[in-house]
Structure 1
């Protein structure tokens, strides 16, 4: 079963061009599933039935996994079994006609403009690490790119003269995003004053480096943004996606075109971007309720 998982992951990487984070997510879900099957005495995927799938999902629920996590696991299993059936490696797809758990659509948490400003003012640009952190935070808020895309940027992906960056999103789809003047200035300052002091290997192409002179990881950035959120006394829960959500919401609140925001975010389906319009509407209702004398 482990070999079949490896074969499936290779197919996703080579034929479908999925991103490394997505591949790791599929692999993690399937390894957990195979472990469950082995504990249940199942050693052949041709022996699996609908009851095995339901049992696995029920175990995830008992462990307190979120509905979104359970739904993602089922999606991983569907894709895996579809692949096995297509290649005649199994006779029956046990996930056929199995309904996904209903997921309550929750609006993403965003920061106010004032909170964003407090967060972005946190780094001490007089230090090497502060100059890097300032550039990353400004770049993230200026472009709305994903954190995985931020840490994957190479020097060649940023064109300071033309004022844009190039990044590769889900499915390795390339998109070009304009940079504002503040982001341009902070990235220029970082390249001029900080990156060279972090650099250990002249052949290193990564834009943002850690103190070892290597590409900064998502986990490394996570610690950085949590630190500045704490120092800015922001009580809202901060995630690596918070500045992305704030970027989209603030653009739409100020009259940006939905299609333009969709393109900058790299959403394949505009319905994904439309959640931010619901968010701006809910905030307008809050403002109305507080300000109108007859609300």
Structure 2
């Protein structure tokens, strides 16, 4: 009965996440993480409602012995923290014990010890993208750099999301993003058009995804596929060290979001901060952000003036 009860708690939490309009990927990730925790505590004859802090520290030790990465550990416990917040909100439990565990044992992962992500120069980014021989992979990396979009936003792009005349892309709605319009420049047009010519030969006609899988022409390139190809070429370029735990020695798709922000701010005329926030789709944190409407014609003009030109061929 305890096992059934725990499964019911997970189902209730998952429904709550859906009500809060979380993405399908996030919901699936939450369920997977909770099932892994349930397996661990069940083997020790515990359930979700009678665990204590020691069980969670034991679980951290267990994951460390499994060589689970810092980011995976952080993501798992972010799920557990949300789950126990839900149980507290529903008056099933009085306290969220995971919060204290995270504060004591995971804070160094959260702030990365003050370590910053790798930021490459404009020249290094140009060299990196130009050395990628596959046109799909080249287009993926270039689009990350030129738009600053997240991995999940990129893999969900469809052909119809691109407005070639206005040189912009309409992203799918997500909880994390306020503005859904991002722009691209002429060298991005050139590379995307080259990819579309190859895409006609490798994609099924029913597949509407912008980036498709090479192994199944009916499927879109997924998050793991994007991460794999990005890191593969970053290793070849000497930008990524898979054996290091240091954030500064890794070059991932999210680094392009930092690159995009940094070089828009520092390049050309220097893009205004509120324009960069708009293109990044950052959440509106105060009333001024909500009521300050951005002129998108001026925004596009500023983008074109400041986005670094990489000489991609």
With the length of structure 1 as denominator, give the TM-score of the two structures. 0.76
Q: 1:199-218, aligned counterparts within 5 Å?
A: 199-200=203-204, 202-211=205-214, 212-213=216-217, 214-218=219-223
Specify every segment of 5 or more residues in structure 1 that has no aligned partner in the other structure, as ranges: 125-129, 271-295
CA-to-aligned-CA distance 1:197-228 (integer Å, 9 cap, x gap): 1122x222111112222201222223322343
Task: Give the distance between the partners of 1:57 and 1:21, measured in 2 at CA.
Answer: 24
1:142 paired with 2:182, answer no
Distance 1:105 1:266, change over 3 A: farther
SS of aligned partner of 2:32? helix
Task: Give the distance between the partners of 2:132 and 2:280, measured in 1 at CA.
Answer: 25
1:253 paired with 2:266, answer yes
Is the contact between residue 176 and residue 282 of structure 2 (CA under 8 Å) also seen in structure 1? no
Distance 1:172 1:267, change over 3 A: closer
Task: Give the distance between the partners of 1:115 and 1:223, measured in 2 at CA.
Answer: 20
Distance 1:233 1:67, change over 3 A: closer
How far residue 71 of structure 1 moved from its aligned partner, in angstroms, is: 4.4
Distance 1:38 1:172, change over 3 A: same
Equivalent position to 1:77, from 76, 80, 92? 80
Aligned length: 260
Task: Give the distance between the partners of 1:67 and 1:27, measured in 2 at CA.
Answer: 20
Is the contact between residue 77 and residue 95 of structure 1 (CA under 8 Å) also seen in structure 2? no
How far residue 53 of structure 1 moved from its aligned partner, in angstroms, is: 3.6
Equivalent position to 2:278, from 259, 263, 268? 263
Is the contact between residue 19 and residue 172 of structure 1 (CA under 8 Å) also seen in structure 2? no
Is the contact between residue 170 and residue 181 of structure 2 (CA under 8 Å) also seen in structure 1? yes
Runs of 4+ aligned structure 1 residues displaced above 6 Å come to none
Select between 254-263 and 62-71 the one with higher mean Cα deviation: 62-71
Task: Give the distance between the partners of 1:106 and 1:269, measured in 2 at CA.
Answer: 26
1:280 aligned partner:
none
How far residue 153 of structure 1 moved from its aligned partner, in angstroms, is: 0.3
Distance 1:210 1:112, change over 3 A: same
1:87 aligned partner:
90
SS of aligned partner of 1:241? helix
Q: 1:109-124, aligned counterparts within 5 Å?
A: 109-124=118-133
Specify every segment of 5 or more residues in structure 2 that has no aligned partner in the other structure, as ranges: 1-5, 241-248, 286-313
Equivalent position to 2:224, from 219, 223, 244? 219
1:188 paired with 2:190, answer no
